[in-house]
Amino acid sequence: MIKLHQTKQLQMWQKAKELRLKYFKEVQTAKEQGKTLVLVDSGSFIELPAGLGGYACLEGHPYGATVGMDLDFARECAEATEARGYARDLCVYTRNFWGSMFLNRYYFGGEFPKPDFTIKRSLCDTESKWLQVCCEHFHIPSFYIDFPLYPDSRTDKEDIDYLATQMNDCIEWMEKITHKEYDDEQLVRAARNEFRTTSLWAEICALNKAIPAPLDQKTIYTLYFPTVVSRYQDETVHFYEELLAEVKDRVANNIAALATERCRLWDDGIPPWYFLRLYRYLESYGAVVLGSIYTYTLHGAWADQTDGSWGRARTPEERGMPLKTREDALRALSLWYLEKPIYQGMCLPVSKNKQLLRIIKEWHIDGTMMHLNRGCEGLVLGQMENRLALLKEHNPVTIYEGNSADKREFDESQVMDRLDAFMESLGMKKLDS
């Protein structure tokens, strides 16, 4: 007899979907509403334009992923990009974004929105060239922020000064090209929201240590979306405050994401967005996927807790840092970003190993599945080293190959066979068998 956990629909689910659609609509109608439209790459400083007044940020990654869910449009975009001589093994988000831009078709209707300018940083080589091509296509200016990318957190005064100075230069540059007077109070507000949002998200993800888990990965993909595109907004903070309260209630009352939870899995890498039903398929074995470094740490702020566990980082204000002036905000933002390096494994796989081994222990993980994603070579780099580190600590691992947003490079039957074999190796049988 399989023990069944109590479960119910997440109340904030619909609100999360509404925020996602609202974001894409705001991008689409920004110019009509007299707003500045800023094109940014992953992890860029989307708080900086806040002082300009009304603005919207077009973030390339969520758009590329969304296009990838539509097989027909994704193929058109990929082929439009490849027809211009760009390689098929290039970042798939880039190919989807460029293709939509080249076709002048916005996925949510109408022409592709023309940004006013771009702000970019160096997360990876492709990211830097991604926005360069966009600037050349639209004939728009760009500001580049040189972000020190370390394998671990850095809080040296020199690094903070270096980053804060560049952000201030960016503000002065935006004033010149937009002919708008910058409002420092709006920057302070946006920074405060950034800290609160990313701290809240880490606290929510940490609650998934509970048995049974209150959230599953497929749901988390929708829930974490606002951290990527609108973490500087009041509405986003309120959303995560409400979500935190609901998830805490689920933990307190043993409300599970999956009623039949009997196996807890970890996900490594970006998923095949067109095949998210793989998570539902695993549920047929009683397996719940708890999350990934991709969803937990992209814009989640983590820190060591007093009991030695991994949990939310305290915001700069909670640590006594002032947050009243432009200088205060820029220095606090610099510290916040430097303390939270994105995808440490892109710099040094051993750093990601430490993260994974910690997660396996604290989240009570029974096995890990790794997507060898041809759509993002940066994140795949070092995965085999990560696999060996997990196996050494007796955490079972399965791998499957594919592409996060290009189904031309995905063999569904092969992936399903691998998942079946993996569950069998864990001693799991389908619940209906």
β-bridge mates for residue 302, sequence order: 312
Query: Tokens 């935190």 identify what position?
Result: 244
In sequence order, which residues have a C-beta less than 8 Å from that of residue 405 and are 6 or more positions away?
A: 64, 65, 67, 68, 69, 74, 92, 93, 96, 272, 273, 274, 375
The whole-angstrom separation of Cα 387 and Cα 395 is: 9
pLDDT tens by residue, 402-423: 999 999 999 999 999 999 999 9
Q: Which stretches of 240-286 are assigned E, i.e. beta strand?
A: 255-256, 263-268
CB under 8 A, 24+ apart: contacts of 133-140: 133/98, 134/39, 134/97, 134/98, 134/101, 137/101, 137/102, 138/114, 140/39, 140/114, 140/115, 140/116
The whole-angstrom separation of Cα 27 and Cα 108 is: 10
pLDDT of residue 346: 58
Taking only the tens of pLDDT, the chain with its 433 residues reads 678 999 999 999 999 999 999 999 999 999 999 999 999 987 678 999 999 999 999 999 999 999 999 999 999 999 999 999 999 989 999 999 999 999 999 999 999 999 999 998 866 767 778 999 999 999 999 999 988 776 666 778 999 999 999 999 999 999 999 999 999 999 999 999 999 999 999 999 999 999 999 999 999 999 999 999 999 999 999 999 999 999 999 999 999 999 999 999 999 989 999 999 999 999 999 999 999 988 998 889 999 999 999 999 999 999 999 999 999 999 999 999 888 755 544 567 888 888 899 999 999 999 999 999 999 887 888 899 999 999 999 999 999 999 999 999 999 999 999 999 999 999 999 997 5
3-class DSSP state for residue 91? coil
The radius of gyration of the chain's CA atoms, rounded to the nearest angstrom, is: 21
Domain range summary for the chain, segments of one domain joined by +: 6-425
The whole-angstrom separation of Cα 342 and Cα 351 is: 11
Other C-beta atoms closer than 10 Å to the C-beta of 62 total 17
Tell me the helices (H) and strands (E) count for the chain, helix number first: 17, 12
The whole-angstrom separation of Cα 364 and Cα 399 is: 20
Looking at residue 254, the DSSP 8-state letter turns out to be T
Does the pTM exceed 0.85? yes
- SS3 percent helix, strand, coil of the chain, rounded to 5, is 50, 10, 35
